[in-house]
Chains A and B, each alone.
Chain A
Amino acid sequence: MEKVLEVKNLRIYYELPQGIVRAVDGVDFEVYKGEILGIAGESGSGKSTLALAVAGLLRPPAKVVSGEVLFMGTNLLSLTEEELRRIRGKRISMIFQDPSTYLNPVYTSGFQVAEVYEAHRGGSWRRYVGDVVKLFRMVKIADPERRVNAYPHQMSGGMKQRVLISMAIAEKPELIIADEPTSALDVTIQAEIVELLNEIRKETGSAIIFITHDLALLLEIADRIMIMYAGKIAEIGRAEEIAKDPLHPYTKALLSSLQYERKKRLQAIPGSIPSLISPPPGCRFHPRCPLAFDICSKKDPQLYRVGGRVVSCFLYGGDHGGSA
């Protein structure tokens, strides 16, 4: 399958006065054409920083320390601002968490969508009004001819998210990054938006990176899932495999916290996510890991292949004598 995106050994640090925050610390993964890659992790696990880096939107104090972000073979990190501008919105687009703040309050929604065409195809926005109405129909905005003239404050949160999605898919990008696109919406609207993204993927063939802390949601819609913990990858695998047979102790803990039974206590993971300024030595999960053994606190696990999957845990590889 064709690789749309390949991230190699990416490290992004925030250089703060209190110290260096290793938000993303050596991450490798690929995204293939037309798939939904789900990225799950707790708050502060580095998933949003990763998304911004792929979109080329990192701002100081965030700094890429090492690595490559290859989009269709080109390293995005080596492009100039102007070259990036031509890719953004056209070949890579992004959907955000809180739709209400991502629309400019002084313009109508239709104008703001038409601007995407204006930016990449030239000419006046007037030429693209028809296309905008078509897009609005595609993202299932009721009464699209009227809605193109509506201001953001005249729309509901779900509708604004649809407008933002229509912006993101306007140029049929190869890659859409959705950073918690449903977290700010009602549960019923959430389901509709997820369904919509799935349809769009089928229609346009775009690959989608779907970032969320909601693992249950990912198990339903993602093709493959990447679990992040404290700036590192814990595990990558197909959604069914992760659901049925999680490898990493962290994934196991996450899954058991999902299984809800009446009259039984919620299975929380003991402890909390470590400081990224001074992470624990060795495997970053070892202080909370029920299966940790002596090497876990001494050495950093690599990504080990297990069948078609990747897991970063000494239970599955490494030179401590365990099986590889």
Chain B
Amino acid sequence: MESGEILRRVYEARRRRLREMWETLKSNRAAYVSLYVVGFLVFIAIFGPFLTPYNPYDFDLSRARQPPSFAHPFGTDELGRDILSRILEGARYTIGISIASVLLGVVIGVILGLASGYLGGLWDTVIQRIVDVMLAFPTVLLAIALVASLGQGVASLIIAIAISTFPVYARLVRGVVLQVVNEDYIAAARLLGKSKIYIMFKHVLPNSISPIVVQATYYMGLSILLASALGFLGLGVPPPTPEWGAMIGSGRTYLFSSPHIVVFPGVFIMISALSFNLLGDGLRDALDPKARALLRRG
């Protein structure tokens, strides 16, 4: 058989693998539903502002704190702004900030964790001491300090959350890497004459990925909460931007008289955090060929 034909088969096998991954993800009901929920959230994060029935910034005190009705499905807030419109408008801030900050945090954390666990020695000592210091700060306090020094805004919020969460990934990755490095196939890769950097990214990283995926999706929810907490303290996205956490913060005074002001953004935060977690769980199984085979057989 000639090389072109064999290569065609390799690609065919790869397509089959992608299909298998998809099937595995689909077989996990919760993850499959979450995929659509996440898709929907991303959709409103992108197109939300074009779908708002009212201007999310227009206030009208005569319509303040109205309960849900046909005109305002989620009711109005303390300034008479339509909550549905504000949620649609605010999705891009909340979802965008959490995705961007988690991605940034994971990239920094994974690179430092890999270097620390795989290269060892001085790298390990320096990186881990930095991580120690950063973990010693309470996350929220660190984020406050960072936002205060970077100035308010979406970009500095993302950077602040990423910097205050990356030590967790760095520590996690280091631990997993220390285990993976002792696996025989890493010794075999060294023996076959592959370079250190190549082995680090091509052999160590893929085998350390599943706890990272789980941790990252868990932190999606957490970073939404962190962004909200900063918003609550007046350090998040500046008002009147309808970031979901800030909406809860400003509506908290009316928690007992008009709970819908807090409940609807809260429900959206909860749904986002939950669906990211469940999706991460499904992804981890789908990405692991061994788990894939097991699940398909079972």
In the assembly, what is the distance between CA of A153 and CA of B6, in Å? 22
In the assembly, what is the distance between CA of A309 and CA of B76, in Å? 98
Binds A, one of B94-102, B184-192, B221-229: B184-192
In the assembly, what is the distance between CA of A55 and CA of B206, in Å? 26
Which residues does chain A contribute within 8 Å of B188, judged by CB atoms? 94, 96, 102-103, 164, 167
Contact between B193 and A90, CB atoms less than 8 A apart: yes
Q: Does B7 contact A (CB under 8 A)?
A: yes
Contact between A104 and B185, CB atoms less than 8 A apart: yes
Q: Does B195 contact A (CB under 8 A)?
A: yes
Contact between B289 and A105, CB atoms less than 8 A apart: yes
A: number of interface residues (CB 8 Å):
38
Which residues does chain A contribute within 8 Å of B195, judged by CB atoms? 85, 119
Which residues does chain A contribute within 8 Å of B193, judged by CB atoms? 85-90, 116, 119-120
Which residues does chain B contribute within 8 Å of A167, judged by CB atoms? 188, 192
One of B185, B203, B290 near A101 (C-beta < 8 A):
B185
B121 to chain A, nearest CB (A): 11
Q: Does B61 contact A (CB under 8 A)?
A: no
Which residues does chain B contribute within 8 Å of A148, judged by CB atoms? 6, 9-10
Q: Does A130 contact B (CB under 8 A)?
A: yes
Q: Does A151 contact B (CB under 8 A)?
A: yes
Contact between B10 and A129, CB atoms less than 8 A apart: yes
Which residues does chain A contribute within 8 Å of B288, judged by CB atoms? 106
Give the interface centre of B206, B288, B289 by most chain A CB atoms within 10 Å.
B289
B: number of interface residues (CB 8 Å):
28
The verdict on A93 contacting B6 (CB below 8 Å), with A108-B13, A153-B293 known, is: no
* Nearest B-chain residue to A81, judged by Cβ: B196
Contact between B191 and A126, CB atoms less than 8 A apart: no
Contact with A along B236-255 (1 / 0, CB 8 A): 00000000000000000000
Contact with B along A102-116 (1 / 0, CB 8 A): 111111101000011
Q: Does A156 contact B (CB under 8 A)?
A: no
Give the interface centre of A98, A146, A149 by most chain B CB atoms within 10 Å.
A149
In the assembly, what is the distance between CA of A233 and CA of B193, in Å? 30
A60 to chain B, nearest CB (A): 11
Residues on B close to A: CB < 8 A?
1-3, 6-7, 9-10, 13, 183-185, 187-195, 198, 203, 206-207, 288-290, 293
